[in-house]
Amino acid sequence: MSEQKSSFMEELDLWSDSTIIAPIFKASRAWYEVGDERPYAEASAAVKKAIRQKVLDSYRNGQAAGPGKFKRQR
């Protein structure tokens, strides 16, 4: 079976589901069921940190790629 490479957007969706949506969903559910805000606060902080890291990685990748070449249309 050959491996198929995922597109950037597919990989981003997987990352979003596992890093953002699932932790907040689990923490929100615990908050609703138990009434403890700590899991939600911890999940929110972890998600914010993960998003900042993803944006920083993307920025650094763009910097490493250098200026893009494009044609101006007149």
pLDDT at 1: 45
Separation of alpha carbons 64 and 1, rounded Å? 34
pLDDT over threshold 90, residue 40: no
Domain spans in the chain, listed from the N-terminal domain onward: 8-60
pLDDT at 65: 85
pLDDT over threshold 80, residue 34: yes
The CA angle 59-25-23, to the nearest 5 degrees, is: 50
pLDDT at 36: 82
Separation of alpha carbons 40 and 29, rounded Å? 9
Reported as a single tens digit per residue, the pLDDT across 3-15 is 667 898 999 999 9
Separation of alpha carbons 47 and 18, rounded Å? 10
